[in-house]
Structure 1
């Protein structure tokens, strides 16, 4: 088995640089990717997902900005590892914020913000006309996306399997050269990665169907039937995440004819 790719952020294209936040974990992989985008020579920049409320990370982003004015900030979805530090970032770098579908011209770039619900109801991706696709948590650089269900910080997460499949289909229809994800390394073969994620989601649905057919009804039982034993430590976090996705899959299957 090949060694896992080490991801430390840094420049990826002549328009995109990743500032990797120091919040690595089972849900954030190597950490949150904050993306600084700008056309070569521009005195402005666009920032995608300023990350958690962390002074050191804001300083690292400011160092990459290198004095350029922030013309636009995009939050790919509501989770605090992506936008928990948004207000503090804006206090230092005042700029308009895009969190819904629309087109923008900033920092010498043309950006399309695309509604891609599934991970959460408010998830968006950003496509540059130069072929970079920024996916937040809709497609990760490694592993599979959690379908976030339930309530977090008083807000319904709205994760939905059907929405996620439709969002993957939308992204597969685009002309994309490289994926810049919200966590994990850059994806150099976008079509293959998006196809794998879609096939993985469908395979998980089939596993849940088989678990139901075997008589499992409780979410915890189905998590064990599908994922095996995930108990304690990091595995406890993974089990919690797996349970969220299982609930979303059960909701999806219950709506099917």
Structure 2
């Protein structure tokens, strides 16, 4: 969901469909919408010259897209050793089982129900695939099962829906939790600084070349929205729908039902912290 101006850092003019870093190639799924921007970014990751690759977020159950990802990933006789899911939303994960059938890959996610032939991802786990190194960064908030992936050799962070290439993301209440999301943003900012991350590879939208600036933008945006929701309640707007109409008046009304989920998360957060 995009409900604000783009984060700073001069994002790419458009989503890159092709190589982005030395080890990461983006394949854009044909599922554009107000929620998915240009579509879902599927990522193919491999160490240069490696015979085994990793695919992140195969995307929706779209046969042409899955076949294209499989063909790209297995070009030159390579094999897909591992398929990873940043979270379980259908635009990222619905095609995973079919993709596993096409490639013989196992599927791993934080949620055991999404895994195929392998164990769930563990926070802090280091994944090694034919020389490629990935670290699993817990990223609950957008959803309870969200993770990010650190690709240190490229100083890149795959953020799923936690940080988008344009606009801001929804806290998908009741599964998503605002307190968890704020903790995640702070954790990702620390990761960006500690590991000198220079690019965010998001689940939707263009890549971001100013990771710290983008995350700071998200933190400031969330603080402003919380203050607006608190003020709306003080002004007598009691129901989530009333708060949305007051606070999200600048957002396309078609997105208001989604904004209501974020508002419910904000109201829960404010109540838990004794602010309303």
- Retained in 1: the 8 A contact 2:11–2:209? no
What are the superposed Cα offsets for residues 136-171 of structure 1, whole Å, 9 maximum, x if unpaired? 001000000100024xxxxxxx10111011001111
Q: Mapping of 1:74-113 within 5 angstroms? A: 74-99=84-109, 100=121, 101=123, 102-113=125-136
| 2:151 paired with 1:128 | yes
Counterpart secondary structure, 2:167: coil
Return the offset for 1:11.
0.7
| 1:239 and 2:263 aligned | no
Which sections of structure 1, spanning at least 5 residues, go unmatched?
A: 151-157
Name the TM-score, length of structure 2 as normaliser: 0.85
Give per-residue Cα distances to partners, 1:105-137, cap 9 Å, x unaligned.
Answer: 013211111111000000000001221100000
Aligned pair partner of 2:71 in 51, 63, 67: 63
What aligned pairs does 1:23-34 form with structure 2 within 5 A after superposition?
Answer: 23-34=31-42
Instruction: Look up the match of 2:186.
Output: 169
* 82, 87, 103: which one aligns with 1:72: 82
CA RMSD of aligned residues (A): 1.8
Are residues 1:255 and 2:275 paired? Answer: no
- After TM superposition, the structure 1 = structure 2 runs for residues 104-253 of structure 1, keeping only pairs within 5 Å, are 104-130=127-153, 131-150=155-174, 158-174=175-191, 175=195, 176-228=197-249, 235-236=253-254, 238-253=255-270
Q: Please list every run of at least 4 consecutive aligned residues from structure 1 whose deviation after the TM superposition is greater than 3 angstroms.
A: 1-4
Distance in 1 separating the partners of 2:204 and 2:67: 20
Matched residue SS, 2:183: helix
Q: Which runs of 5+ in 2 are unaligned?
A: 110-120
Shift of 1:12: 0.3
